[in-house]
Structure 1
Amino acid sequence: MSYPIATDVKPTVTGFFDPDTSTISYVVKDPQSASCAIIDPVMDIDYAAGRISFKSADILIDHVKRNGLRLEWLIETHAHADHLSASPYIQKSLGGKIGIGDHILTVQDTFGRVFNEGTEFRRDGSQFDGLFKDGETYAIGSMTGFVMHTPGHTPACATHVIGDAAFVGDTLFMPDGGTARADFPGGDARILFRSIRKILHTLPQQTRLFMCHDYAPNGREVRWETTVAEERTRNIHVRDGVTEDDFVAMREARDRTLAMPRLIIPSLQVNIRAGHLPPPDPSGKTFLKVPINAL
């Protein structure tokens, strides 16, 4: 696959850190116009109380309005298991189209069965406005973004490359954080390694890489931007010289020690619906399911 790499285009990238989920959402602005995209926006949830709110999303909306920007795309790098998407809420305020990789159909089928969603839950990706294939392009003003299918953490993970900036979702962490887990249904450590190699050996060394999460290992300050060169030389899990077999052994052993993410149950039910809540029951109340011994 040949990708339309254009490192001469340098979008303005503004990150917004959500401390509750350690998620970074981004506003990506075209330097030649007011067009922008939002990547991985967060909907807030008080899980114990069963209440949702939109403080994090309102910060993004305020930034777009205050700077006179025009939202063209809301991009989900994958169906997140650690936070709920706020894309529909933002779309109602600012417009734009919601996009995700086309392998979301696999994730919808997998978790449609986990949550016993029944036939009323569509598993065709129609909840999203755009389903991106590997190598597909889309416009943000004068910029052209393109999609690299980078599965392993989930089957639908994709890296979105916009000019000299690449948004890797959960595929990579900062060099001292290593890589994401690969033990969710449909995940695969060997495929994850190959996806990371695809990113680090396809994109130019100077490409800016933007993380979806940072957990500030060893108490350092939160960071979310690095480069291909830095990941190749310093990433504790996948720097140059680490073999595929060594990575798989490390990743699988490490994953066996990890608890499920705190918000995996509500997140997946919402995110396979493009950020929409499940439909209300006949009384008008909305519920989230808790599958027993299914994850």
Structure 2
Amino acid sequence: MKPRIEAFYHENTSTISYVVYDQSGGHAAVIDSVLDFSANSGKVWTAFADKQLAFIRDHQLTVDWILETHAHADHLSAAHYLRQQLNSKIGVGAGITKVQKTFKLVFNIDDAELSANGEVFDHLFQDNETFQIGPLQGQILATPGHTNDSVTYLIEGNAFVGDTLFMPDGGTARCDFPGGDAGVLFDSVNRLHHLPPDTRLWMCHDYQPGGRELAYVTTVAESARSNIHLHEGIARGDFITVRENRDKTLDVPQLLYPSVQVNIRGGQMPAAETSQTAYLKIPLSLSSSYVSPDNSKLKSEKGGSSS
């Protein structure tokens, strides 16, 4: 059965989220949802997710899954909010436990608030596992390299690739975050490029290189032929060199720290403190000469990045 796919573009983060469904009155999944967030004010709201909810209700869809391709570092996930509204299951790749373990240390999150076993999600997908969206058949392809937990959702000839790939003129994902590896990404992209040539690849982001119009779907054949970073004939070692050199020039994503803290919790905010207000942490990178008010040297944390 050919799925129907509705794309929703979140302009502030250049993110594309999808509702994939069989038919009106049928079954659906939401892939890579987004919460609205202002880093300047700390305001969080749900206007974008509510547009998806309106579409779901207008089409009388039963949402079986809220799917995350990985714990994003450039936008906050609306997965928890959508689960509250839809009573759906949140699914993510099993590698999320590695990501949780890494960032629990970065943000000094204790076990009482978050365990690194993925239990805040409803299901941890293993490589090659299959799942259903009503009559639609889905398969999990583990595609790490950008992050440990990156997966692609292959649904009836459509591959939702997360940040692993961009449109051919955008290249591939960065690999300088904790758990990232350019060689592993090369293998993951090649796995995607060996899918049937007419498989459609749906992007999670489009940064519109050169100011072109928004674009978020291509084919395996076109990506394998034209991707500026990894196309047919590129040797593994050459790609690693290009990718790692490029990563050295990239700045940390603006929403890295807020996003990761929320997304490793499945879209939930950190626990409220005694003031009944939740807080997000920013690990500081201090110069070696900085002395704290009590005249002691403070340890500096170096954070990773994500998209």
- TM beyond 0.5: yes
Q: Tell me what 2:93 maps to.
A: 101
CA–CA distance in 1 between the matches of 2:242 and 2:210? 20
Secondary structure, aligned partner of 1:199:
helix
In the TM superposition, what is the alpha-carbon distance from 1:33 to its structure 2 partner? 6.1
In the TM superposition, what is the alpha-carbon distance from 1:88 to its structure 2 partner? 1.1
> Is this contact kept in 2: 1:10–1:31, CA < 8 A?
no
CA–CA distance in 2 between the matches of 1:84 and 1:184? 17
In the TM superposition, what is the alpha-carbon distance from 1:187 to its structure 2 partner? 0.4
Match of 1:224 among 205, 216, 219: 216
Within-5 A mapping of 1:28-177: 28-31=20-23, 34-120=26-112, 121-177=114-170
> Is this contact kept in 2: 1:76–1:100, CA < 8 A?
yes
Match of 1:237 among 229, 236, 250: 229
> Is this contact kept in 2: 1:33–1:142, CA < 8 A?
no
24-33 or 54-63, which deviates more: 24-33
In the TM superposition, what is the alpha-carbon distance from 1:282 to its structure 2 partner? 2.2
30-39 or 149-158, which deviates more: 30-39
Q: Deviations over 1:131-182 (max 9, x none)?
A: 0000111110011111011000000000000101110000000000001100
Secondary structure, aligned partner of 1:15:
strand
Secondary structure, aligned partner of 2:13:
coil
Runs of 4+ in 1 over 3 A off after TM superposition: none
In the TM superposition, what is the alpha-carbon distance from 1:196 to its structure 2 partner? 0.4
Q: Tell me what 1:18 maps to.
A: 10
CA–CA distance in 2 between the matches of 1:58 and 1:65? 10
> Is this contact kept in 2: 1:15–1:27, CA < 8 A?
yes
CA–CA distance in 1 between the matches of 2:129 and 2:79? 21
Match of 1:275 among 256, 263, 267: 267
Secondary structure, aligned partner of 2:258:
helix
Amino acid at match of 2:164: T
In the TM superposition, what is the alpha-carbon distance from 1:54 to its structure 2 partner? 0.6
Structure 1 residues not aligned, in runs of 5+: 1-8
Q: Deviations over 1:227-276 (max 9, x none)?
A: 10000111111110111111110000000000000100100000000000
21-30 or 277-286, which deviates more: 277-286
Secondary structure, aligned partner of 1:20:
helix
Amino acid at match of 2:87: G
Amino acid at match of 2:180: G
CA–CA distance in 1 between the matches of 2:277 and 2:170? 40
- Higher-Rg structure is 2
Secondary structure, aligned partner of 2:223:
helix
Q: Tell me what 1:4 maps to.
A: none
Q: Deviations over 1:160-218 (max 9, x none)?
A: 001011100000000000011000011011110111001111x1110011000000001
CA–CA distance in 1 between the matches of 2:111 and 2:118? 14
CA–CA distance in 1 between the matches of 2:48 and 2:24? 27
CA–CA distance in 1 between the matches of 2:245 and 2:21? 40
Root-mean-square deviation (Å): 1.0
CA–CA distance in 2 between the matches of 1:164 and 1:281? 46
TM-score where L is the length of structure 2: 0.92
Amino acid at match of 2:241: A
Structure 2 residues not aligned, in runs of 5+: 286-301
Q: Tell me what 1:192 maps to.
A: 185
Amino acid at match of 2:202: F
Identity across the alignment (%)? 48
Amino acid at match of 2:193: L
Amino acid at match of 2:43: R
